[in-house]
């Protein structure tokens, strides 16, 4: 049984989505290539794992039983490749830095290459995916620079150097479209409108915490909720009257001219004194001097720029 | 002078193409310190083991071994690091292998399919009685009409489709199992002097019933013509032109048992089994071929 491990990953994804096209898109290969690899996997194990039809792909009985063990192998394979890349990076003295899409993150990824990196180290900057805490622990990244809402993203295996902490949240709207009173502001009122929220790639845990908070404190969800891939995009939409911007911490200074003409309120400042934290993260047991020196450089640069 | 490199996304999609065998071979070579000893341990040749290691090196993108003293193969620091990561993956793969073996031992489901008329008996049941499959498969039967057998096979709705007059195609394998005997019907005028070979067929007064795929029937008509018959025609139940009472009609006889001894002087249709090319059940093709009547 000489199976290709990438074929197993495709099979797992196919079992979850039921679509060859969707699987191809996810793994960035063509749909016939997915078919070919699944065919090779079936031949290697001598089992028919999937039944294809015009309405979608479903697992056969053998496929269902095979998937139970294939799941374990897929997880081990992903951990193996993470580990392998990590070893490779250590040997090349590369440090993979994941930076989020926040205002702070964008400035840092622009400024960091201009700052002098530690001698002999090759920092590689890349975009940060979701669940960066887990990705950092599984060595997908060496250093993460990101913002978190409340305690989201934190886990036992990672350590944090705080660059900036901001209180509460910012609620901003265009007064031409919404009649909210900034003096006697009532938060539940905005839940009857569309709320425009930066997504988890901008600040981890913000949208999910907000949803939980609305449900527990007010017993309701926003009438409509739209995610944006940056604070500025969400603010632009709010400015156009498409909804009310909800952003972590003190958002208005970051929005600069986009916020002009909008009315805003800072709320939950006393309830949530450490609502938004922007910091540098690395693994708790990190012992690579290269990684620690890059993390320190980023922390120092962040403090200089934002503290 | 070192630089900061910018990447749009971490290279998560470009996963190395590693195989189970490469991991096993890599582990043994690290342990044995020589390709030759690893080959002995794995009951393979040194050249094969070396090739697998080279493929693995290509997949991971770094060299794994260096030559040490006394011609011992030493794992590079990268390989040493990798070795520490291999165990959980190997363990998972071994468990997966065991579960696959258990599924094989239990007997895999094999779905035979044919059009409705085959279930009456004759050729189909005759062949099934000859076919040895119950040792590794649990057969079941589906009724799928001829016009949709190709998508059914390609979509893995069924594994083997039985039919007559089926034409080979790119993505399907065809095994001819037996020639189909003809039922020759002719009017009272022919009593006592039924033609016995194609050349004796009266010009323009004989027909072939269109029962399989139309391409197969027209190929058959060509074969009749090459064998000396002149101006035959094809008809089906939907044809406007139908044979007259005093004309000769060839239609395949599917419900009779095949008699292997009867020499056939007529070009004939074949009773065939069709399956996906590279079907996962590798034993299937030899079994079908083995049960075919020459």
User: Cα Rg for chain A, rounded, in angstroms?
Assistant: 23
Taking a contact as any Cβ pair under 8 Å apart, which residues of chain B between 143 and 202 contact chain A? 154-157, 159
**Does the CB of B16 have a partner CB in chain A at under 8 Å?**
yes
CB B193 within 8 A of CB B201: no
10-residue averages of pLDDT along chain A (307 residues): 86 91 87 88 91 83 92 91 88 91 93 85 88 88 94 90 95 94 91 93 93 92 93 94 95 90 92 94 91 93 91
Distance CA A204, CA A198 (A): 9
> Where do the domains of chain B lie, and which CATH numbers do they carry?
20-105 (1.10.10.10), 107-178+272-291 (3.40.190.10), 182-252 (no CATH)
Q: Which helix (H) or strand (E) holds B60?
A: helix B46-60
Of B19, B77, B155, the CB nearest to A3: B19
**Longest pairwise C-alpha distance within chain A:** 71
The answer for A 59-118 residues in CB contact with B (under 8 A) is 60-62, 65-66, 68-70, 72-73, 75-77, 79-81, 83-85, 87-88, 90-91, 96, 98, 109, 112-113, 117
Cβ distance of A48 and B19 shorter than 8 Å: no
CA atoms of B119 and B141, how far apart (whole Å): 10
> In a structure prediction context, what are the per-residue pLDDT tens digits for chain B, which is 294 residues long?
345 554 433 333 567 788 888 999 999 999 999 999 999 999 999 999 999 999 999 988 889 999 888 888 999 999 999 998 888 898 999 999 999 999 998 888 889 898 877 777 777 777 787 788 777 888 888 898 888 888 888 888 889 998 888 888 888 988 888 888 777 777 766 666 777 777 777 777 777 777 777 777 778 788 887 777 777 777 777 766 776 777 777 877 776 665 554 456 778 888 888 998 888 888 888 888 887 776
Q: Length of chain A in residues, anyone?
A: 307
Residue of A69, A90, A127 with shortest CB distance to B99: A69
Three-class SS state of A72: helix
List domains and CATH numbers for chain A. Answer: 5-84 (1.10.10.10), 93-165+276-306 (3.40.190.10), 168-267 (3.40.190.10)
Q: Please state, as a whole number, how many other Cβ atoms lie within 10 Å of the Cβ of residue B251.
A: 17
Residue B19, chain A, CB below 8 Å: the answer is yes
């Amino acid at each position: 049984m000489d199976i290709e491990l990438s074929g197993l990953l495709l099979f797992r994804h196919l079992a979850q989505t039921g679509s060859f096209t969707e699987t191809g898109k996810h793994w960035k290969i063509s749909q016939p290539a997915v078919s070919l690899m699944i065919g090779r996997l079936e031949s290697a194990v001598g089992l028919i794992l999937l039944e294809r039809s015009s309405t979608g792909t479903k697992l056969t009985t053998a496929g269902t039983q095979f998937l139970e063990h294939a799941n374990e192998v897929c997880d081990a394979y992903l951990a193996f490749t993470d580990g392998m890349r990590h070893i490779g990076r250590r040997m090349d003295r590369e440090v993979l830095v994941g930076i989020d899409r926040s205002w702070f993150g964008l400035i840092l990824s622009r400024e960091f290459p201009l700052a002098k990196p530690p001698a002999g180290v090759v920092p590689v900057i890349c975009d940060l995916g979701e669940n960066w805490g887990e990705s950092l622990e599984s060595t997908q990244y060496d250093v993460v620079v990101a913002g978190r809402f409340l305690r989201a993203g934190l886990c036992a295996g990672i350590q944090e150097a705080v660059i900036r902490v901001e209180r509460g949240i910012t609620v901003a709207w265009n007064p031409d479209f919404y009649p909210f009173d900034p003096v006697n502001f009532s938060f539940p009122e905005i839940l009857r409108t569309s709320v425009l929220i930066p997504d988890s790639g901008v600040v981890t845990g913000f949208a999910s915490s907000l949803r939980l908070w609305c449900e527990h404190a007010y017993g309701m969800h926003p009438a409509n909720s739209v995610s944006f891939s940056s604070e500025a995009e969400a603010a632009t939409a709010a400015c156009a009257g498409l909804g009310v911007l909800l952003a972590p911490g003190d958002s208005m200074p970051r929005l600069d001219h986009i916020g002009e003409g909008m009315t805003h309120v800072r709320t939950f400042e006393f309830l949530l004194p450490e609502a938004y934290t922007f910091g540098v993260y690395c693994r708790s047991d990190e012992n690579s001097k290269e990684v620690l020196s890059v993390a320190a450089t980023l922390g120092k640069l962040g403090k200089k720029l934002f503290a | 002078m070192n630089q900061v490199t910018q990447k749009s996304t971490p290279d998560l999609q470009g996963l190395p193409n590693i195989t189970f065998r490469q991991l096993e071979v890599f582990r043994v070579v690290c342990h044995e310190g020589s390709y030759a000893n690893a080959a002995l341990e794995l009951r393979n040749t040194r050249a094969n083991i070396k090739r697998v290691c080279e493929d693995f090196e290509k997949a991971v993108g770094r060299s794994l071994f260096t030559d040490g003293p006394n011609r011992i193969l030493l794992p590079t620091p990268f390989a040493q690091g990798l070795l520490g990561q291999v165990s959980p993956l190997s363990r998972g793969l071994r468990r997966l292998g065991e579960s696959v073996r258990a599924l094989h031992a239990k007997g895999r489901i094999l779905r035979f399919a044919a059009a409705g008329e085959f279930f009456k008996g004759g050729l189909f049941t005759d062949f099934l009685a000859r076919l040895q499959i119950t040792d590794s498969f649990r057969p079941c039967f589906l009724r799928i009409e001829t016009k949709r057998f190709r998508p059914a096979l390609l979509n893995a709705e069924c594994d083997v489709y039985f039919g007559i007059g089926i034409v080979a195609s790119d993505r399907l394998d065809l095994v001819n199992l037996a020639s189909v005997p003809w039922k020759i019907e002719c009017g009272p005028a022919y009593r006592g002097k039924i033609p016995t070979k194609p050349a004796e067929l009266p010009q323009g007064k004989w027909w072939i019933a269109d029962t399989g795929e139309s391409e197969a029937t027209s190929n058959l008509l060509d074969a009749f013509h090459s064998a000396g018959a002149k101006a035959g025609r094809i008809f089906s139940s939907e044809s406007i032109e139908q044979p007259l009472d005093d004309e000769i009609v060839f239609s395949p006889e599917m419900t009779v048992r095949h008699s292997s001894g009867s020499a056939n002087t007529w070009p004939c249709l074949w009773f065939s089994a069709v399956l996906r090319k590279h079907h996962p059940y590798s034993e299937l093709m030899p079994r079908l071929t083995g049960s075919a009547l020459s």
